[in-house]
Amino acid sequence: MSTAPLAFLKGHGTENDFVILPDPDNAIDLPASLVARVCDRRAGIGGDGVLHVVRAAAHPDARHMAHEAEWFMDYRNADGSVAEMCGNGVRVFVRYLEHAGHITAGDVAVATRAGVKQAHLDKDGDVTVSMGRAVLSGDGVTVTVDGRSWPARNVNMGNPHAVAFVEDLAHAGTLHTEPPYTPAAVYPDGVNIEFVADRGPRHVAMRVHERGAAETRSCGTGACAVAVATARRDGLDPAETGAPVTYTVDVLGGTLLITERPDGRVEMTGPAVIVAEGHIDPVWLAGASA
């Protein structure tokens, strides 16, 4: 580990917050223990995850996408585990690229482990991300909290989600730990679990336990999974009607607009904010990575 201070920024998208580590040449070693320490809200900087900013051509997981996207979002969960995708993270990643002068308002492609995501940075500050297509499976699970159980729809947005509809979001409990679900074999690598309550026509609210991060204030891929699952529950399928379907999804940290297009593409629009930047002390860093 270098003895030089490590530059970082802090940002959030609907209060899903991230430590941003600019590293264009992929020179920083990021063991899981270091990521977890950086994300620690008492002993570190604090965050729901780390956005490791690398040029796609410089990272072995993204070189095959370098012809489509200059930048790779090497995303890590708060516990240090590697994740395929983070929707709020993409919006904050795009905001960082603009903040650092790498892009201006308009369209930008971002490489992720779930493929290349197309994003649009509006001049008013909102970021729209094309999140790909939802894959709905009949292999659902039953989620249980405090003696109550609900069927949960299996929706994959590049990462796995189990979407359960409840009468009251309080029924989800504290969400400090992952709610048990059966059969566990449906999600061998874990799952993000969303609890959803109706708020009005095409308007829902959700809480989420994110795989590797406990409850978070927002989850972009989760909001997309919720919108698609809710549309199917409501008998709406853009592929059949030929008309896009938009849902307002309230998360603890704000509001996201999710639109599913007739061709299956799911788009997410919401804010992204850079709140601070600085340097991590190299002495602390050396201890964290030991």
Binding-site residue positions: 16, 77, 87-88, 159, 192, 210-211, 220-221
Question: Does residue 219 have an active-site annotation?
Answer: yes
Single out the catalytic residue among 219, 245, 258, 266.
219
Q: Which of 20, 83, 86, 245 is catalytic?
A: 86
Binding-site members for substrate are: 16, 77, 87-88, 159, 192, 210-211, 220-221
Say how far apart CA 151 and CA 153 lie, in whole Å. Answer: 7
Answer for the pair 108, 250: CB distance below 8 angstroms, yes or no.
no
Residues with active-site annotation:
86, 219
